[in-house]
Amino acid sequence: MEKDQCTVDYYYHSWSKRWSTTTRSASRIVTSADNISTFSAATHQRGCRCNWIRMRRRIFAKLCRTTIVIVITLTILVNLIFILEFGYKSKLSFSDEPTSRANISDDGQSYQYLTLEIVSSQSRAAVSVDGAMMIDDNEVGKGRGIHVLVLNQRTGAVMARQIFDTYSPHEDEAMSLFVNLVSKGRIIVMTIKDEGSFHLKQPTRDLLQRYGSKNSQILGWRDTWIFVFEKGDNPQLRGVGGRCCEHLGKSSNFLSWGQPLSVTCKVRLSTDQHEEECQWPDTEENQRRREFCSRVEGYGSVCDCHQPTPITFQPSPIPNNQIRNVPVAIIASDRPRYLYRMLRSLLRVGGANKEMMTVFIDGYYEEPMQVVRLFGLKGIQHKPLGIKNARISQHYKASLSTLFKQHPDSRHAILVEEDLDVAPDFFHYFSQLVHLLDEDPTLYCVSAWNDHGYQHSAVNATLLYRVDTMPGLGWMLTRKLFKEELETLWPTQDKMWDWDMWMRKPSVRRDRECVIPDVPRTYHFGASGLNMNSFFQDTYFRKRALNNQADVQLHDIENMKAINYERVVETAVSNATVLDHTISPCEESFIPNVTGETFVVYMKMEHARDTITWLQIAKCFKIWDLDARGSHKGLWRFYLKNNSIVVVGVPFSPYSKFKPTKLNPIELHSTVTTRKSN
């Protein structure tokens, strides 16, 4: 019985053990199956996630590519529209002839007539020719004066358009000159915006009267006025249907304007067979002339049929020419008559090389480019960037960048603006000085301009100075300076800075100086521009000096190197006669009535920006007094009464050491002069 019980226990335990083992195995199998299922699900989930990520990446890449394509396409379209728009405007301005031309029978003959619609008012001047708007100026604060439009008498095509601000001085003289330069037979349209009579002097009124005006003598303050005439020996208006081509709206009082005028005038086109094109010889020069004269007007004898003025020159060579391969950039805008005058001046100068000249035009203006082609020069038009001063600054940068790219082997460049006349030795001057820029690292530029070079203050054409401001107005620089410094630092188009004022900043100039002449080699004649008007030109530029001698041999060129120049200046100051400091510099007797002497003046100047006294002295001497320019370490040099004058700022200038101990430097505050001890 006990044995049986043991057997039963044995089988029981064996069965329990096997059951337990089986149960655990089954449990492991189930767990394993669950794990496999979980792993498969996780693997599937990760695979889906990877596929989704890859899909998102592909979608993102496609979107990026699509966006880039759209941006590039839009950029191309915008540029095409811009180019086409300028081309269309240029075509309208210079080559389009009005299309809706009226044919009217008169005395048994059929004539063609232009229909002119003209507006004159306080706020607008407008002229349309057969429905095509040629002038439409309604911008506030701009366009004051007499608007002039010149039309071809046979085709009605626009030949020229000008604005003369005859409210300002000398603009009437410019208008008279322009009318006199227009070819005979042309149709001239005049209309006033705002005010156009204040400086309309008698000679101009008489000229208008000779061309048929009945109102030029009574044109008054703020009157509105429209005048259309044909220029000729016996000028007459060609009116049709009782319409008059001169209208006047009188101002009732000083504070009001004349009534706005809106006039339609029909002008008969010429059928004169004798007004054919000039029969110039068929030369390359005359081909350029013929193309020019068929498109623009107001350049006088350039288009004369019998004695046309030359447009090709044979400049004489200069001795030992060191700038034969130095490129020249002519900086231009939409002032074609300034450009014409400047190029005639430049191309006749000894050493001029047309092949090295490029005219850079700020904007897509047709008439300046016609002037460039007239003289057979290269012209490049830049797309304007920025506005006002920033636009001018970007134009200079783009011009210099392009010039050095055109001439990769050139180590120097010369810049000259469109509103400058140049001296007969302009290129000879730079040729003698170009080596200094390579040999003296303390030099910044060589300039043809002298800020204090007036007719009464500049007399020695062989004399040179070093100054710590950048004068501009005809200057030379090195490729190294521009490419390694200026180009990368140049102000961006959002900076409303004058480019030349920026170049004068101490952080840009870095204590370097420019070489300038005593007698300037350029003359500023432009009376209109962003920062210029006829009053400013008349006050500060009209009486400037300009050298008129050819091939002037400069003296002591090597003394322009820094170390040598210090010795020259110290000798000049130490040997100079001290002027009587008890007399005001504004008194005529301050400078003795002698000639050929060197005089020195010591004035109060605490630091570089302490220029109050200097500006008052400059005003007394009638030289540049708007800001402090043209100095060398607090010292100024110029001529008065044919005597060399040296002005030393005390104690700022290192040359103060030559001041007599007991001498009190001059100190001026506006109109008050006081003297204080050191």
Tokens standing for 180? 């006199």
Distances 266 to 102, 150, 187, 189, 632 between C-alpha atoms, Å: 9, 15, 12, 12, 65
Query: How many structural domains are present in the chain?
Result: 3
The verdict on residue 566 lying in a domain is yes
Report d(CA 519, CA 457) in Å as an integer: 9
The verdict on residue 220 lying in a domain is yes
Q: Are residues 551 and 571 in the same domain?
A: no
pLDDT the model gives residue 54: 73
Q: Are residues 423 and 514 in the same domain?
A: yes
3-state secondary structure of 322: coil
Q: What is the pLDDT of residues 43-57, one digit of tens each?
A: 445 555 656 677 777
Find the CATH number of the domain harbouring 465: 3.90.550.10
3-state secondary structure of 529: strand
Q: Yes or no: say if 229 and 182 are a contact pair by the CB < 8 Å rule.
A: no
pLDDT band at residue 62 under the 50/70/90 scheme = confident
pLDDT the model gives residue 48: 53
The verdict on residue 279 lying in a domain is no
**Domain range spanning residue 200?**
110-268
pLDDT the model gives residue 91: 38
DSSP conformation class of 654? G
Q: Are residues 452 and 403 in the same domain?
A: yes
Write out the E strands in 11-157: 102-106, 109-120, 125-129, 132-137, 145-151
DSSP string, 142-200: ---EEEEEEE-TTT--EEEEEEE-TTSTTHHHHHHHHHHHSPTT-EEEEEEES---TT-
- Is the link from the previous residue into 651 a cis peptide, with omega within 30 of 0? yes
pLDDT: which is higher, 105 or 276: 276
What b/e readout covers 339-376, taking b as 16+ CB neighbours within 10 angstroms? bbbbbbbbbebbbbbbebbbbbbbebbbbbbbbbbbbe
Tokens standing for 202? 């008698």
Q: Yes or no: say if 62 and 55 are a contact pair by the CB < 8 Å rule.
A: no
Report d(CA 317, CA 323) in Å as an integer: 11
Q: Are residues 478 and 444 in the same domain?
A: yes
Q: What is the mean pLDDT of the chain?
A: 86
Report d(CA 214, CA 202) in Å as an integer: 14
pLDDT the model gives residue 376: 97
Q: Classify strands 246-249 and 261-268 as parallel, antiparallel or unpaired.
A: unpaired
Point out the domain boundary residue: 268, 283, 306. 268
Tokens standing for 363? 């904007």
Q: Are residues 576 and 531 in the same domain?
A: no
Phi (first) and psi of residue 303, to 5 degrees: -105, 15
Q: Are residues 549 and 566 in the same domain?
A: no
Token pair 């053990």: residue: 17
3-state secondary structure of 364: coil
pLDDT the model gives residue 49: 61
**Element (DSSP H or E) covering residue 427:** helix 426-439
Backbone Cα Rg of the chain: 39
The verdict on residue 287 lying in a domain is no
The verdict on residue 669 lying in a domain is no
Q: Yes or no: say if 504 and 510 are a contact pair by the CB < 8 Å rule.
A: no
Active site residue 334: no
Q: Are residues 568 and 547 in the same domain?
A: no
Catalytic residue among 419, 421, 425, 518: 419
Number of H helices, E strands in the chain: 15, 26
Q: Yes or no: say if 468 and 631 are a contact pair by the CB < 8 Å rule.
A: yes
Q: What is the pLDDT of residues 485-503, one digit of tens each?
A: 999 999 999 888 889 999 9
Q: Yes or no: say if 153 and 224 are a contact pair by the CB < 8 Å rule.
A: no
Tokens standing for 531? 């920062």
Find the CATH number of the domain harbouring 616: 3.10.180
Tokens standing for 360? 């850079």
Q: What is the pLDDT of residues 265-308, one digit of tens each?
A: 999 888 775 555 788 999 999 999 999 999 999 998 999 998 99
Q: Are residues 588 and 571 in the same domain?
A: yes
Active site residue 500: yes
Tokens standing for 365? 């203006």
Q: Are residues 570 and 532 in the same domain?
A: no
The verdict on residue 323 lying in a domain is no
Q: Any residues with CB less than 8 A from the CB of 645 and at least 6 apart, and which? A: 591, 598, 599, 600, 601, 621, 636, 637, 638, 639
Q: Are residues 543 and 587 in the same domain?
A: no
pLDDT the model gives residue 39: 43
The verdict on residue 641 lying in a domain is yes
pLDDT the model gives residue 90: 38
pLDDT: which is higher, 596 or 676: 596
The verdict on residue 171 lying in a domain is yes
Q: Are residues 473 and 532 in the same domain?
A: yes
Catalytic residue among 498, 500, 538, 610: 500
Report which of 637, 630, 629 is spatially closest to residue 600, judged by C-alpha positions: 637
Q: Are residues 466 and 574 in the same domain?
A: no
Point out the domain boundary residue: 227, 247, 268. 268
pLDDT: which is higher, 237 or 108: 108
Q: What is the pLDDT of residues 154-184, one digit of tens each?
A: 899 999 999 999 998 889 999 999 999 999 8
pLDDT the model gives residue 50: 59
pLDDT at 6 over 50: no
Mean pLDDT of all residues in 448-469: 97
